[in-house]
Each structure stands twice: as C-alpha cells, then as structure tokens.
Amino acid sequence: MNNKQPLSETPVTVGLREAFLYWLKLGFISFGGPAGQLSMMHQELVDKRRWISEARFLHALNYCMLLPGPEAQQLATYIGWLLHGAKGALIAGLLFILPSFFILSLLAWLYMAHGDVPLVQGLLYGVKPAVTAIVLFAAWRIGKKTLHTTALKLLALAALIAIAWLQLPFPYIVAAAAVIGLVLMRWWPAQLKVPPVSHGSGNAHAAPADAVINDNTALPKWQLFSWRKLVLGIALGLTIWALSLGVLVMLYGWHSPQAQLGWFFTKAALLTFGGAYAVLPYVYQGAVEHYSWLTALQMIDALALGESTPGPLIMVVTFVGFIAGWTEQLFGPNMLPLAGMLAAAIVTFFTFLPSFLFILVGAPLVERSRKQAAFTAPLTAITAAVVGVIVNLALFFGYHVLWPQGLSASLDWIALLLGIAAGIALFRYQQSILRVLLVAALMGALLNLSLF
C-alpha cells in the first residue's frame, strides 16, 4: 500500500476566528449528553457548514469511540486538529469543557451548602428516575445506529452479560470485541456492513468534495504521520503527566486526597472505554466504594446535573471531585469551597489530559489508516459492545433509584412511575433530554412538597 501523502497547496478555508466562535458557542449549548452532542456537531459541521464530509466525520468518530474518555469532546478536538492543527485541537477541546467546569463547580457548591433544603431534595428526587430513562434511551439510540446485523446484536448482548453478571473489566470486553471484529472481517464481512449514519438531513450523503475536509483533500503538514512525531508526542505527554502528579505528591504526600484524586482519575481516563456511560461504573467503584468520597445517591445526583448542563457527560467527575475535596476538608472546615474547587480542577485535568494526547499524538496515524479495513472493523465491533455496557449502566442506576434502601426494602413506586413517564417522553414523543429533566425536577419538587 502506498502511504505517501501529499502536502496541501491550498490554505484551510475555515478561519481560526470563525472556528473559535463556533467551539465557544458549542461549549455553552452542547446539552443532551454524547448522543445529543454528536448529533449537534454532525448537523452543524457536516450538513450545514460543510467543514467535514460524512466519511471523514464517521472515521474520526470511530476512532474516538475506541478511545477511553468522552467521545464527543475528543471528536471536537479531532475536528479542531483537522482544521487548524494542535492550536485548533486545544481551542476546540478546551472550549468544549470549560463552561461546564465552572457551571458544575457552582452547582456542586450549591448542592453541598444547601442540599438539605426540601426544594432541592425534591428536585433531585424527580430527576433521578429520569436519568435512568435517559441512559436507557442513549443505549437505544446508539444501538439503533449500530446494531444492524445479527452478529453485532449478539455482541452487544454478550457485552451486557460479561459486565453485569460475569463482572469482567471493561478493557477485557473492548479487547474481545476488537478481536471479534477482526474475525468477522475475515470470515463474515457482511456482518460489519453498518449503514451510514443518518441524522435526518438531506445533505447527509452529499458529495464529499463539497466539504472543506473530504476524502480528496490534500493533507497539510500537521496531518502527516511520522514515527519521530509519535515518539516525541508520547514523551511530552508522559512528562506533563508525571510532573503534574509529582507536584501534588511533593506538596501534599502520596497518600493525600489530592494525589490520590490525580492517580485514580488517571486510571479512570486510561482504563475505561466507550465514553461517559462506560466510565461511570468504574468511577462509582472507586469514588464511592473504595475511597468513600461520596455516596451512591450523590453519584446519581452528579449524573443528573451532568445531564442538565452543557459539555460532555463525563464532566460529572468535576462534581465528584468537588464533593471529594469538600468531604475531605483539604484546607480545614472553614475553606470547604476552596477545597472543592482545587479537587475539581485536579480531577478535570487528569481526566482530560489523556484525551488531548490521544488526538494530538494518534490522529496522524489514524488519518493514514482511513482506507484500511483492519482498523475500521474492530471499531465497529467495539461500538456494538459499548451498547451492552450502557444498558448495564441503566440497570445499575435503576436499582439504586427504585430500591434506594436495597432489595430488602420496598419498591419506590413513585420513582418507577416518574421513570416510565420520562421513558415515554423520550422514546414515544422524542422530547429533548433537557426538557425531560426540567419536567422531572418540577414533578419531584411538587411531590416532595405535597407528600413528604
């Protein structure tokens, strides 16, 4: 195969200022979790602005689905890199998360300082069942776009069984799905022929040459792959991570909450795959069960607030970090907000550092592999497996919402009815996630005032 790639003689036609304004706008309006954010970017960048073709968009998305971390934020970073190199990647990736960081930090402070107010309790009571329905809805939407063959459906079911009943670590499930994808490519390639994603726009299948970035676009210098750039990029990334964690250890000690937050969320960023819905069970195991930084119900509240704010859903870790810093009283009982902000910043930095490195270091190699089925087949299989993992997360939240005191206690019938109503609104009437959460919060507040 000839991997020689031509340099672009034509300057990028999307101005940096124009791109900056779009990524800034997206950071404030990117509600709806990963499914909504991906759809929003597809509609704007592929269908409307024609900055990137359908094929290039999906190729980048498949790579981001393979990576640990938030696929929507990574996709924005990837497209920013395609348009303007490392500078564009940093602008797109940072603007995707900064508005959410400050909003969630503020909400976490209000939650910890005034969470015992009956009105706040009622609002959270209403959104918890809605969150369960939203997670299940996310699994259905991704599955609808992915599970088009019998083999992919069976793979999703196997992933659900593996993580829910066999308690297999998710990295093992990803590795197995990748191998299965290669096997299917070799002997049953028809089982991997997933139809193109359609977002309801007539431009979804427009000629790729119409887009600024398409299959025929000559590659600019920053998109060219070289082993030297790969090695230097990896070395730089490891140095940034080691120095950052080292500063925390020197200032506070290895066993301090600050250092443990950095170390745990480094592992969470590297050892979990499939976006926020796949990461959250791992975060729950560590933050709730191992470190006791927060409770299971606080974790569900974190997801509810993450679904209600712009930015990637994995930004719930900012909320988790704030509560951890507050609970651990890093600077004593009189400086709890400052402790929360520091912990939130630590968690957010170590969670997203790998995401930027994966794009800046790996994207040139991914661009060179666009025509290679050996690369795309495992990604298709992994995406199918992620559907099963998301269903497991819905079951996990459903258990804690419907039986908050455990199976030995009675079922919370009101929560069940609220969850069913949210599901009907999402599945049957295609209501937006934000609208469902707002109505659920209002219902919870009214029920709390009248019944409790």
pLDDT for 306-324, tens place per residue? 777 788 878 889 999 999 9
Q: What is the pLDDT of residues 152-194, one digit of tens each?
A: 999 999 998 988 888 787 668 878 888 998 898 888 887 876 4
What CA–CA distance (Å, rounded) separates 371 from 377?
Answer: 11
CB 381 within 8 Å of CB 122 = no
DSSP string, 248-291: HHHHH-TTSHHHHHHHHHHHHHHH--SSHHHHHHHHHIIIIIIS
Q: Is the pLDDT of residue 226 over 90?
A: no
Name the percent of the chain lying above pLDDT 90.
28
Contacts of 399 (CB under 8 A, 6+ apart): none
Q: What is the pLDDT of residue 174?
A: 78
Between residues 450 and 407, the one the model is more confident about: 407
Q: Is the pLDDT of residue 39 over 80?
A: no
What CA–CA distance (Å, rounded) separates 37 from 425?
Answer: 19
Between residues 53 and 321, the one the model is more confident about: 321
The residue-averaged pLDDT of 66-73 equals: 80
What CA–CA distance (Å, rounded) separates 101 from 127?
Answer: 21
Residue with tokens 């933050």: 287
Name the percent of the chain lying above pLDDT 70.
85
Q: Is the pLDDT of residue 228 over 50?
A: yes
Tokens representing 122? 């009622």
Q: What is the pLDDT of residue 201?
A: 40
Q: Where does the pLDDT of residue 36 fall: very low under 50, low under 70, confident under 90, or very high at 90 and above? A: low
Between residues 294 and 247, the one the model is more confident about: 247
Q: Is the pLDDT of residue 8 over 50?
A: no
Least confident of 52-66, 184-198, 333-347, 401-415: 184-198
Q: Is the pLDDT of residue 6 over 50?
A: no
Q: Is the pLDDT of residue 7 over 50?
A: no
What CA–CA distance (Å, rounded) separates 95 from 9?
Answer: 29
Q: Is the pLDDT of residue 2 over 60?
A: no
Q: What is the pLDDT of residue 300?
A: 78
Q: What is the pLDDT of residues 339-377, one digit of tens each?
A: 999 999 999 999 999 999 999 998 888 877 665 556 667
Task: Evaluate the CA torsion angle 387, 392, 396, 398 in order and state its sign.
Answer: positive
Q: Is the pLDDT of residue 236 over 90?
A: yes
Q: Where does the pLDDT of residue 262 fall: very low under 50, low under 70, confident under 90, or very high at 90 and above? A: very high
Q: CB 98: neighbour CB atoms within 10 A?
A: 15
Q: Where does the pLDDT of residue 68 fall: very low under 50, low under 70, confident under 90, or very high at 90 and above? A: confident
Tokens representing 312? 């990637």
Q: CB 118: neighbour CB atoms within 10 A?
A: 11
Q: What is the pLDDT of residue 24?
A: 92
- Give the three-class secondary structure for 7: strand
Q: What is the pLDDT of residue 341?
A: 96
| Secondary structure letter of residue 294 according to DSSP | S
Nearest in space to 92 (alpha carbons), one of 135, 35, 48, 44: 44
| Secondary structure letter of residue 67 according to DSSP | S
Residue with tokens 């959460």: 437
Work out the mean pLDDT of the chain and round it to a whole number. 81
Q: How far is CA 242 from CA 2, 65, 160, 252, in A?
A: 38, 26, 35, 15
Least confident of 1-15, 177-191, 262-276, 340-354: 1-15
Choose the most confident range, by mean pLDDT, from 87-91, 290-294, 300-304, 434-438. 87-91
Using a CB cutoff of 8 Å and minimum separation of 24, what contacts does 112-117 make? Answer: 112/322, 112/323, 112/326, 112/336, 112/340, 113/337
